Amino acid sequence: MLLRLSVKNFAVLENIEIDFNKGMTVLTGESGAGKSKIIDSIAYLNGKRASQDDIRHGESRAVIEGVFDFPEYVPLNETLEDIGIERDELYIVRREIMNNGKSLIKMNNKMITLNQLKDIMHHVLSIHSQSTHHAVLKKPEQLASLDRYIGLTDEDIFKQYQDDYEAYQEVNTRIEELEYKDRNRLTQLEMLKFQFEEINTMDLKDDEEEELENELEFLSNYENISDSLNQIKSLLVSEYPPQGMLYDISQSLETITRYDASYTSYKDTLMDAYYLLTELNSQVSNDLSSIDYDAERLNLIQGRLNQINQLKRKYTKTYEDLLAFKDELASDINDLENISQSFERLEKEQKRLYKKMETSAEALHQYRQDRKHFLESKLRSELNDLEMPNVQFEIHLKEAHFNELGYTDAEFLISVNKGEPLKPLNKIASGGEVSRVSLALKTIFSDFDSDSLIIFDEIDTGVSGVVAATMVEKMRLLSRQRQVIVISHLPQAAAIANHLLHVEKTNDKERTYSKAWYLDYNEKVEEIARMISGSKITEAARLNAEELLNSGKE
């Protein structure tokens, strides 16, 4: 939930701080008072793209900061971990919008990107308005609602289709690449053969580069190696060689061990060292007689390594990559020289994968057909609660084009009056009816969603009377498990709210700014009375307001 919102230099919100509470908070005030700007500022914390037009005139930047208590939700925790944000009791989200159009985003003082912010806040809050409600009129959104309700994406049948679809797309891509190569076959073939010959002529061997570099290192340091070997040899054959000293010491220990066995281990160690030095002397002698500085070999190695490095730079590949690249070139050359056979092989594979994908898509489509009635029934029930007693609702599914979700095309059909045929939702539904369908879907999916904050921005526009009361009741039911923030001009919403936050625009020093405060009981009565009767508040309106407030507590 959102605990505190701080906004500076954001349009009419010059400098405002608001503490939010659990339950349902309704924002009231005259049109243009700044209520929508408060919701807009929260939308920035939800990942809205920055606009310099929102910066208060004359200021260089706007700053929006929200303190959140995130819900305990495994996918959210995984997202935070992936982004590198440590778990904490509270999370401070900060947006700075500069007048050059750029913005800085921080979460608990860690810089994050806009997409990362969206990924996180997707699990935390959702904002619903008249504009977002129109999303329910779009077929992809309708299919997404069905799939979500029946839990399709978690089923093996869906994962199988995804694998089959991806395999089919991959073979299509390979055919397209081959078609491109065929159109430019001669030019491609000439280039590939040139590259192959250039690499093949080098006759590269496995581990050759490493072996040459080791040999180069040895020859480049021949003088140091030779001097060191001679030094070792001179010490081992000197007048008093170390192995002779070890032998003498060993003989003395031989005498001691006859009387004190504790010296036996020393004697054995010394004899081991003696034999090692004798072996070292033999090795050094052999090396001195066999090694020789070969300037010609050094030049050959340097030349060979230069050729290899030139090839690596030209193709921007490592030595190992060059070896693999040569095999790829040979394969591509073979494909182009035998392009008809390659087409035949790929097209055969394409047909096989298409049938496999088609079978998976048919199973996916049937799965939706068999289970769509669950959402149909639930949505009809919710719409009945929202004063649409004669509503008929059906999800029409038909086969369409293949995509990553299958080939199912979904369309919501609705009839709101008795005797009227079912028609597409986007053809017959009024604004109020669309709002009710959207609210019904939000109510249905409230058990699925992790968001701990739901914002309704004037979704009740165009409704009144009993319909308005039932919509407000749905919002209150949602607020029992979540924090709900509402902009509404309905007195029923204001009366039923746990908290009434009044927003007012005022002038000071020739500038306009908004302020907000929570209303006490008497102020609530006056505000609800104003919503009932307009600017001229009557005593009857006050009595009506008190009645609404008292009934809202029940």
Q: Is the pTM of this model over 0.75?
A: no
Q: How many CA atoms lie less than 13 Å away from 413 in the CB half-sphere?
A: 13
What pLDDT digit, counting tens, does each position of 75-115 carry? 889 999 999 999 899 999 999 999 887 889 999 999 999 99
Q: Residue 475's closest CA among 386, 381, 376?
A: 386
Per DSSP, the three-state class of 33 is: coil
Domains of the chain with bracketed CATH: 1-124+451-514 (3.40.50.300), 186-336 (no CATH), 520-553 (no CATH)
Q: Taking residues 229-241, report their average pLDDT.
A: 79
Provide CB contacts within 8 A for 494, sequence distance 6+: 26, 28, 488, 500, 524, 527, 528, 531, 548
pLDDT of residue 133: 58
pLDDT at residue 166 is higher than 90: yes
Q: In the structure encoding, which two tokens stand for residue 166, read together?
A: 């991806």
pLDDT at residue 430 is higher than 70: no
Nearest-angstrom CA–CA distance, 38 and 61:
17
Q: Residue 410's closest CA among 149, 138, 153?
A: 138
What pLDDT digit, counting tens, does each position of 362-420 carry? 999 999 999 999 999 998 888 888 888 888 899 999 999 999 999 999 999 988 888 88
pLDDT at residue 436 is higher than 90: no
pLDDT at residue 554 is higher than 60: no
The mean pLDDT value of the chain amounts to 86
Burial class (CB in 10 A: 0-12, 13-18, 19+), 286: exposed
Nearest-angstrom CA–CA distance, 463 and 137:
19
